[in-house]
Chain A
Amino acid sequence: MKLFNSTLKAHSPEVSATKAKKFGTLYVAEGHMLAMRRYIDVIIAYSVGNPLMYLFAMGVGLASLVDANSAGAFGVSYMTFIAPALLVSAAVMTAAGEFTYVIMDGFKWRRTFYGPLATAITPYQISQGLQLAVTGRILAQSIVYLLIVIAFGATASPWVWLSVLVATLAGTAFGFPLMAYAASLEEERGQFQLVNRFIVMPLFLFSGTFFPLTSLPWFLQWIGWISPIWHGTELSRVLSYGYDEPLWLSAVHVMYLVALTILGWHFSRRIFARRLEG
């Protein structure tokens, strides 16, 4: 009976339960990160390919048209202007991808949220664990993105490193409430595709990403004001090239993003608890 004399001894049930209660969120996060390894090739291609393609296409290609036709409209080169916006948009889009089908998968398709439930891990921890894992992915992806932006020479400020945190915060500000919504769905009838087409895409296109929000007609500008991408982008511009903005407005951006993140965190915890204990 070699198997049972293995040095890999399990803890006693009491110890396991105590540990699970204490580190449950981390355990769940670890599980999700291991699951992400299954599609690590896509993650890497996306994290590196996406910034390269957008920075070449928009920062070099489109920039040549914009800089030639309206030199000085932005105060900086067009590349410098859009790089922080692209960083933030990519973070939000990753959040949109990770907090939709994965949730349906956990509750309905492969029911992975029910596994940890058989242990001492609580529904709150199951919800937070996923949030932690995805936040980690967004943070790592944003660091890679920023390195590529720096390689393109599209930033001048030493504060630019903080924009990685801003991008991640924008990702959670959009992702956590989306997660709460996704967790409230019993069935997938194309809602996620609609979220993508009618929420994510408009937010990307009308958040002052490719031009200042004020270039849009007034009846479209409100999309930017409610958009985590716009708030994140404005902050990120302040940090990467000293974009001129009053301090109170920067504070509003941070508070808005933090508030959305907390609301999303709170509601997804509650919905997870209701569904898993109900």
Chain B
Amino acid sequence: MSTSAPYVQDKDLVLTGSKRAFAALYGRNAKSVIERGLLATKTSNASIMVSGFVEPVLYLLSMGIGLGSIVGTVTGPGGTPMSYAAYIAPALLAVSAMNGAIYDSTMNVFFKMNFAKLYQNMLYTSLGPLDVAIGEIFLALLRGFMYATGFTIIMWFMGLIAHPAGLLMVPAAVLIAFGFASIGMGITSYLKKFQQLDWINFVMLPMFLFSATFYPLSVYPESVQWFIQAMPLWHGVELMRQLSIGYFTPSMLVHVGYFVVMILAGVTLTTNRLRALFLK
């Protein structure tokens, strides 16, 4: 009997942790989470995908044309006179970026987390919480990018973009969506019952109504103005409106900076929460 070495040796059976930084958090494979998401999209209801794009268009037709015929011309950023439709269209784009991102990162993620147990299964593999967070957020942003492109094309057809800088509204919409998606997913991880999702609407609705979407902030008393300016959507609306007419001021950096900070905070929160929930 020959005594050749066994194929599996003792040292092969010893598990050692990876020496790579953040190896426990990130498996360098967010790609597969994204791939799974895209595959799942194929079998889902296409008309629901379309519906997210339709809503801001309906608002634009209703308020922009119907109400616009009564309101007439309003004062935009830097005192620029603009039609009412041109005034609300960029705001509606910011709102739709927020709504899409929040929908994807709350309702959608909540069901995957609590009913489909999708993330739990993913984390049983070599995927880490950061892979899941990056993958899900990327999917939300891809959708946001498509909606924003479509809406911007409609604005252009309706003659509502006064300056080439208006094209920058598309990346701006992605930035806004990124901010809301990263925070939204972190918040969703705290929710236990699906009735609690209703409370998210109670935060979203006032933001939508009060963030200078349909009329300027100047109608409010100063204290209310401060409060609204602390909310993320207002920064999104302002950023979009300024871009639509190519009105660049340093204040734009503040708006962009707000979302950069929101993204960093959101991704950190989400990753920590996923780790706390699943990697006990």
Contacts and interface: CB of A to CB of B under 8 A. Distances in A.
Interface in A56-85: 56-58, 60-62, 64-66, 69-70, 73
Contacts, number: 100
Interface string B64-103: 0111011111100000000000000000000000000000
A216 interface: yes
A194 B48 contact: yes
Contact of B62 (A49, A61, A205): A205
- Interface SS majority for chain A: helix
Interface stretch (B23-31, B122-130, B203-211): B203-211
A201 B69 contact: no
A106 interface: no
B195 A39 contact: yes
A193 B67 CA distance: 27
Given A197-B55, A205-B59, A65 B206 contact: no
B71 A201 contact: no
A215 B70 contact: yes
Contacts of B205: 50, 53
Contact of B219 (A53, A61, A201): A61
A210 interface: yes
A65 B65 contact: no
Given A57-B210, A193-B48, A197-B54, A49 B70 contact: no
A215 B215 contact: no
Nearest to B49: A190
Q: Which has the most chain A C-beta neighbours within 10 Å: B55, B66, B72?
A: B66
Interface in A196-223: 197-198, 201-202, 205-206, 210-211, 215-217, 220
A57 B74 CA distance: 17
Given A194-B47, A216-B66, A220-B61, A65 B216 contact: yes
Interface in B166-191: none
A198 to B, nearest CB: 7
B214 interface: yes
B70 A53 contact: no
Nearest to B218: A64
B223 interface: no
A195 B119 CA distance: 30
A204 to B, nearest CB: 9
B177 to A, nearest CB: 19
B220 interface: yes
Contacts of B199: 42
Nearest to B52: A197
A275 B72 CA distance: 54
Interface in A160-206: 189-190, 193-194, 197-198, 201-202, 205-206
Nearest to B219: A64
Interface in A259-276: none
B12 interface: no
Contacts of B73: 69
Nearest to B210: A57
A45 interface: yes
A54 interface: yes
B256 interface: no
Given A189-B45, A198-B54, A220-B61, A70 B70 contact: yes
Given A53-B209, A57-B214, A65 B219 contact: yes
A217 B65 contact: yes
Contacts of B63: 205, 210
Interface string A30-50: 000000001100100110011
Contacts of A60: 219
A69 B210 contact: no
B145 to A, nearest CB: 20
A139 B61 CA distance: 31
A217 B70 CA distance: 13
B222 interface: no
B210 A210 contact: no
B51 interface: yes
Contacts of A206: 58, 61-62, 66
B22 interface: no
A190 B202 contact: no
13 contacts: A42-B198, A61-B220, A65-B215, A69-B74, A190-B47, A193-B48, A194-B45, A194-B48, A198-B54, A206-B62, A206-B66, A215-B70, A216-B65
Interface of A: 38-39, 42, 45-46, 49-50, 53-54, 56-58, 60-62, 64-66, 69-70, 73, 189-190, 193-194, 197-198, 201-202, 205-206, 210-211, 215-217, 220
Q: Ordered nearest first, which 10 A-B pairs have the shortest CB separation?
A: A205-B62, A57-B209, A197-B51, A65-B215, A64-B219, A190-B45, A190-B48, A211-B66, A215-B69, A215-B66
Interface of B: 44-45, 47-48, 51-52, 54-55, 58-59, 61-63, 65-67, 69-74, 195, 198-199, 202, 205-206, 209-210, 214-216, 219-220
Given A53-B210, A64-B215, A66-B67, 11 more contacts: A54-B209, A56-B209, A61-B220, A189-B45, A190-B44, A205-B61, A210-B63, A211-B66, A211-B70, A215-B70, A216-B66
